[in-house]
Structure 1
Amino acid sequence: MKTHRSLIKIGSFVLGFGFLGALDGIIFHQLLQWHSVYMATDRPGQIVSDGLFHFAVTITLVIGGILLWVAENPIAHKKGIRLLIGWFLIGGGLFNLTEGIINHHILQIHRVKPADPNPLFYDLTFLGLGVVLIVIGYLIKKNTETYQATINT
């Protein structure tokens, strides 16, 4: 039972990380066309960098799905759905923080919306969304773990 709960946590986290990566690629790279993974190249280079990013995100989604499949039905575990949602949101929020801090600020390979007069606003909003997702996920997960602790005592 503990192994299944761990797989739900890890699988949900990985799935959330990959899902927010996919949303980033779909919304910011393709639909809005605000940026690419690596902006300092010509258009074919940008397409290749985005393709590699989408491939990595797809692999992450598949791994998260497999881990959840192996974990079996989250409904079969006490508060399993809350674990799934909490860790999914934490994973998604960590994607935003990791990608935002590394790519936007440390490596400076792109900004969320570089053509805007105030690109820092969009970068900080992106990071803020990551923090909000982590906090909400933590609160959902914490409620589940507090519930489990009271049952086990």
Structure 2
Amino acid sequence: MANSAPAPRRGEPGDPGARLEPRRSLAVCALIGMAVMAAVDEIVFHQLLGWHHFYDRSTTAVGLFSDGLLHTAELLALVAGLVLHADLRRRRALAADHALAGLVLGLGLFQVFDGIVDHKLLRLHQIRYGVDVTPYDWAWNLGGLALLLLGCALTVRAARRTRTGPSA
């Protein structure tokens, strides 16, 4: 008697039509990267060091409330990113090189956005108070820029590998 196992459904292991999704892999992992860097910022600088709150232009209670909102947004983004990542993996559509590039891009995007927009343009908070913030700003923004540049290099490498095939 012949094996009567049903054929694999679309996206399941063994599906001959499963295709990698490089752009979605990059975007999903960029979301995860932004959420992770927001968590690092919130935990290290807001909670452990107590250097600032997300919004420091009001009372301490408002600052703590704003930290709670940031933490909520970061957790929602992380959960959403992980659900989307799991879906890509389930469908065997995760492009690993693009995922790594997206993760690093997300880390850098959050840090540069926070350093330029939140710290300097909107002046929601500074990295630290009571000291010359110049070295902190340079370190923060150059660190974010380094992550962005590394993410861009990884994105270019991933795109080249996708065009030339996995053996290149």
Q: TM-score range by the shorter chain?
A: 0.7 to 0.9
Whole-angstrom CA distance in 2 between matches of 1:12 and 1:103: 23
Normalising by structure 1, we get a TM-score of: 0.88
2:127 aligns with one of 88, 112, 123 = 112
- Equivalent position of 2:116 in the other structure: 101
2:62 aligns with one of 17, 22, 45 = 45
- Equivalent position of 1:10 in the other structure: 27
Task: Report the AA paired with residue 55 of structure 1.
Answer: T
Whole-angstrom CA distance in 2 between matches of 1:73 and 1:146: 25
Whole-angstrom CA distance in 2 between matches of 1:111 and 1:10: 29
Identity of matched residues, %: 25
Task: Report the AA paired with residue 130 of structure 2.
Answer: A
CA displacement 1:64-123 (0-9 Å, x = unmatched):
11111111169x569x3322211101011000111111111011121111222x112212
1:122-133 to structure 2, matched below 5 A, reads: 122-133=136-147
Task: Report the AA paired with residue 112 of structure 2.
Answer: L
Aligned length: 148
Whole-angstrom CA distance in 2 between matches of 1:99 and 1:133: 14
Bigger Cα Rg? 2
Whole-angstrom CA distance in 1 between matches of 2:75 and 2:25: 19
1:3-152 to structure 2, matched below 5 A, reads: 4-72=21-89, 80-116=95-131, 118-151=132-165
Whole-angstrom CA distance in 2 between matches of 1:65 and 1:45: 30
Check conservation: 1:86, 1:141, Cα contact below 8 A: yes
For structure 2, list consecutive stretches of 5 or more residues without a partner in the other structure.
1-18
Compared CA separation, residues 77 and 71, structure 1 to 2 (3 A) = closer
Cα deviation, residue 58, structure 1 = 0.7
Check conservation: 1:17, 1:92, Cα contact below 8 A: yes
Relative to total residues, which structure has the larger helix share, 1 or 2? 1
Check conservation: 2:26, 2:100, Cα contact below 8 A: no
Check conservation: 1:10, 1:67, Cα contact below 8 A: no
Whole-angstrom CA distance in 1 between matches of 2:47 and 2:38: 13
For structure 1, list consecutive stretches of 5 or more residues without a partner in the other structure.
none
Whole-angstrom CA distance in 2 between matches of 1:121 and 1:71: 41
